[in-house]
């Protein structure tokens, strides 16, 4: 009994470093393991993903613009037309704010409409002339 108890005590003995060791074994010959990797924090993972996305962004945007060039051009033209109309409306509102300018423009418009009617719309020959001018303008515009 004493021998078994001595063997158990020697097997359960603790070295001064707090590590279990067996008698008669040398720990210097044992292979050493690399230290455990420190866990990456969530911020490091997020920043690494963000950097990867930003690295791929120019390639992604280039392929997107190459595939959708016509649609993007159409959207840009529509937006520029919208902005142009807004600017023209703002200018006309500013002109209408000047006290005598709006009535003068109305009078000029009325006189031009009367002149256009007498010049092009009363006689058949002048209507044909107007039709020829409109068709030549369309031909120049459309090609």
Q: What is the pTM of this model?
A: 0.41
- Tell me the DSSP string of the chain: -HHHHHHHHHHT-B-TTS-B--TT--GGGSPPPPPPPPPPPHHHHHHHHHHHHHHHHHHHHHHHHHHTHHHHHHHHHHHHHHHHHHHHHHHHHHHHHSTTHHHHHHHHHHHHHHHHIIIIISSHHHHHHHHHHHHHHHHHHH-
- For the chain, the average pLDDT equals 83
pLDDT of res. 3: 58
- List, for residues 85-135, the tens digit of each pLDDT value: 999 999 988 988 888 988 898 999 999 999 999 999 999 999 999 999 999
pLDDT of res. 14: 46
């Amino acid at each position: 009994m004493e021998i078994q108890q001595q063997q158990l005590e020697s097997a359960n003995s603790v070295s001064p470093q707090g590590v279990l060791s067996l008698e008669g074994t040398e720990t210097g010959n044992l292979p050493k393991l690399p230290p455990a990797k420190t866990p990456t924090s969530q911020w490091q993972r997020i920043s690494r993903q963000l950097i990867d996305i930003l690295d791929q962004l120019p390639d992604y945007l280039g392929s997107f613009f190459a595939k959708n060039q016509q649609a993007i051009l159409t959207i840009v033209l529509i937006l520029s037309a919208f902005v142009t109309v807004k600017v023209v409306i703002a200018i006309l509102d500013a002109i209408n704010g000047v006290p005598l300018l709006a009535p003068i423009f109305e009078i000029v418009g009325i006189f031009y409409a009367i002149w256009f009617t007498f010049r092009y719309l009363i006689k058949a020959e002048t209507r044909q002339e107007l039709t020829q001018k409109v068709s030549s303008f369309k031909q120049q515009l459309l090609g």
